[in-house]
Each structure stands twice: as structure tokens, then as C-alpha cells.
Amino acid sequence: MIRFFISLAITFFFIFLPSDSNTAAWTQVAGEGQLIFNFSGYSSSAYYDENSSSNSSSIKFTKFEINPFFEFGITENLTVGINPTIQNWNFEKEVATDIIYDFRQCGVFNGIEGSNVNAFMMDAEIFARQKIYSNDNFVFSLQPLVKLPCVLYSNGVFIIAEDTVDFEIRALGGYGFKWEPDISLEGVKIPFAGQYHFINTELAYRKRNEQFSDQIRFDATIGMRPRKDYLILGQLFSTFSTEDEPIRGFFGNEGLFVEKDDYYSVKLQTSLVKQMTNSTAIQFGVFKEVLGKNAGDGIGATVSLWYSF
């Protein structure tokens, strides 16, 4: 019976891996834009349970993702973009009869079966970011977003999950500054002094299909330049369900068991961006979930290629 509950719990613990946006509060210059190719890998054989405690799992989950992010300035105050993703999921299960379900990201109720399972997921988000207010250092923007239906390929079958159309409104605030300390050390260069840095925070509400819990998302980024051509990023990504929405119920040996869409996940990421030319840069980063409830507990790495035009 314990293994039965574990197999169903994977519905919550591993499939839901929040997709992290590359946006910030600033808009692009009219007629200019950027293209960022993100490549990432993630592995987890542990999960946060309903008491937010980390536990090992009988299922090892790995994910590889390609995420080409594009945005373009329509006017000085309006930027539009698209954020598609292609993910490869792999599940190594000790018991082949364990069935994995997904509803948090792709919303598909068809079970994924087998002892070593590969599946592909594809979806895309379309957004528009409108600058509301700005001065020399601060900018505030609003960004509506629509997540298109996702497509899942598993066991030789393509499934379009029409119940995964999400709507989101996001408030973004960014503050840029140049650090020029008052102190002066003869012959000693103070790290990060004389360079431009920034802080960006984002708060979003995502409306999901009525059978799924809505989400509140809070993201934050600190960007510090040790010198002109290097940028160090520290980032926090978090997602919280707004309620414990019941997803499905069924009878087991101990009576009625109800799956609930009740979770949160907090992830930290640190990365280094190297400016290669005026229009290109490369980013290397690592990330890990540090807090959670009914969510995965894993670690991953990312490489991104930036191109501005």
C-alpha cells in the first residue's frame, strides 16, 4: 500500500517543475530585441512531501530542456515575445507497474507506464510587456501572458492537452544603479565599484483551468558586475498553489484517496554571464530546489546563448 501511494505521489513531486521566464521589467528599444537559447538539465531522486520534508524516492526523474526565448520592442514602452519549450522527461522506476500522471504542467490524465519511460513535452507562452512608469533608475511594467495548450508525446502517441491554457498577469519592478563607494583605498580596486548593477522583482497571478489550482509566482534577481564584461546573477523562482483543489478521487484498500493540487516550490539559481561581443553573451548556471511541498527536490545546470539585435 505504501508503494501504491508513492507511485501516485509522483504526480505531484516531479512533473511540476516551474518554467522560469527570462523577462525583466525593462522593455526593449523600438525595433530591437533579443534571442536567448537556453539548454538545461535536471535530475531528482527525492521530493518534498506534504509536510515540506525531503524524502528519497523509488523513481529517478531527469529532464533535458531546450528553451528559445525571443522578445522584440514594438515601441519604446511595449515589448512582445514568445517563450517556447521542448522537454524530454525520463523516469527510471523500480516497479514497472507504477503509473505516473501529470496535470501541473501538461494537464494530461493519461498514465505514463513502463519501467524506463521517455516522454516529450512541448508548449509555448506568448506575452506583452508594457512599461507603466520609469525614471533614471527605476522601471515598473505590467505583463499579460497566455500559455498555449501543451503537447505530450509518450508511448508513440501525441496528446494535445486542451485544458492547459493558462492566463497570467505579472507586475515587474526593476532598479538599476552604479555603485561608487565613498571610501578610497590607495592602490586597491574595490570589487564591483564603478560598475552598473540591478535588482529585479516580479509578482504574478496565473489563472489555470478550473479543475487545477491557480498559482502565485514570485521571482527575484540580483545582477552584479565585477567588471564591465562579466555579470553575476543570483535568482529566486517560486510558485505557490492558491488552494488545495481536489483533482481526482479513487478507492484504495484503505478507502477513498483524493489527490489534491496543493504545493509550493522555491528554487535558487546562480549563474555567470560573459559578454563575448557587443551583441552576444554566454551564461553558465546551476540551480536547486531549496524548499517545497508536494514538489521535486533536485538539482540542475543551464547554459544560455544570448544574442541582441
Give the least confident one: 37-51, 76-90, 176-190.
176-190
Confidence of residue 3 (pLDDT cuts 50, 70, 90): very low
Residue 8 has pLDDT above 80, yes or no: no
CA dihedral 259, 261, 262, 266 (to 10 degrees): 130
- DSSP codes joined into one string, 252-304: ETTEEEEEEE--EEEEEEEEEEEE-SSSEEEEEEEEEEEEEESEE--EEEEEE
Mean pLDDT to the nearest integer, 241-252 = 66
Q: What is the pLDDT, as a whole number, of residue 6?
A: 39
Q: Looking up cell 517543475, which residue turns up?
A: 17
CB-CB neighbours of 211 under 10 Å:
14
The cell for 143 is: 505583463
Residue 207 near residue 180, CB atoms below 8 Å: no
What does the domain layout of the chain look like in residue ranges?
A: 2-301
53: Cβ contacts below 8 Å, ≥ 6 apart: none
Residue 90 near residue 65, CB atoms below 8 Å: no
60 exposure class (CB count in 10 Å sphere: 0-12, 13-18, 19+): middle
- Mean predicted lDDT score pLDDT of the chain: 85
The cell for 257 is: 484517496
Q: What is the pLDDT, as a whole number, of residue 240?
A: 95
Residue 159 has pLDDT above 50, yes or no: yes
CB-CB neighbours of 93 under 10 Å:
22
- DSSP codes joined into one string, 140-152: EEEEEEEEPPEEE
Residue 27 has pLDDT above 90, yes or no: yes
Residue 100 has pLDDT above 90, yes or no: no
The cell for 155 is: 508511448
Mean pLDDT to the nearest integer, 8-27 = 58
To the nearest whole percent, how much of the chain has pLDDT over 70? 80
Mean pLDDT to the nearest integer, 278-304 = 95
Q: What is the pLDDT, as a whole number, of residue 95?
A: 64
Mean pLDDT to the nearest integer, 218-234 = 96
Q: What is the pLDDT of residues 188-209, one digit of tens each?
A: 777 888 899 999 999 999 999 8
Give the least confident one: 12-16, 59-63, 130-134, 143-147.
12-16
Residue 99 has pLDDT above 70, yes or no: no
Q: What is the pLDDT, as a whole number, of residue 12?
A: 41
Strand partners, 199: 175, 222
Say how far apart CA 112 and CA 284 lie, in whole Å: 33
Q: What is the pLDDT of residues 58-85, one digit of tens each?
A: 888 899 999 999 999 999 999 999 999 9
Alpha helices of the chain — where are they, by DSSP H? 2-13
Residue 259 has pLDDT above 80, yes or no: no
Phi, psi of 163 (to 5 degrees): -85, 15
Candidates 260, 266, 208; CA nearest to 17 is 266
For residue 121, give the amino acid letter.
M
Strand partners, 300: 42, 287
Residue 249 has pLDDT above 60, yes or no: no
Say how far apart CA 264 and CA 241 lie, in whole Å: 6
Confidence of residue 278 (pLDDT cuts 50, 70, 90): very high
Confidence of residue 114 (pLDDT cuts 50, 70, 90): low
Give the least confident one: 33-42, 131-140, 246-255, 289-298.
246-255
Mean pLDDT to the nearest integer, 261-279 = 94
Residue 55 near residue 47, CB atoms below 8 Å: yes
Mean pLDDT to the nearest integer, 144-160 = 89
CATH of 2-301, one of 3.40.50.720, 3.40.50.2300, 2.40.160.40, 1.10.630.10: 2.40.160.40
Q: What is the pLDDT, as a whole number, of residue 277?
A: 95
Residue 102 has pLDDT above 70, yes or no: no
- Of the two residues 163 and 272, the one the predictor is more confident about is 272
Candidates 124, 108, 109, 134; CA nearest to 66 is 124
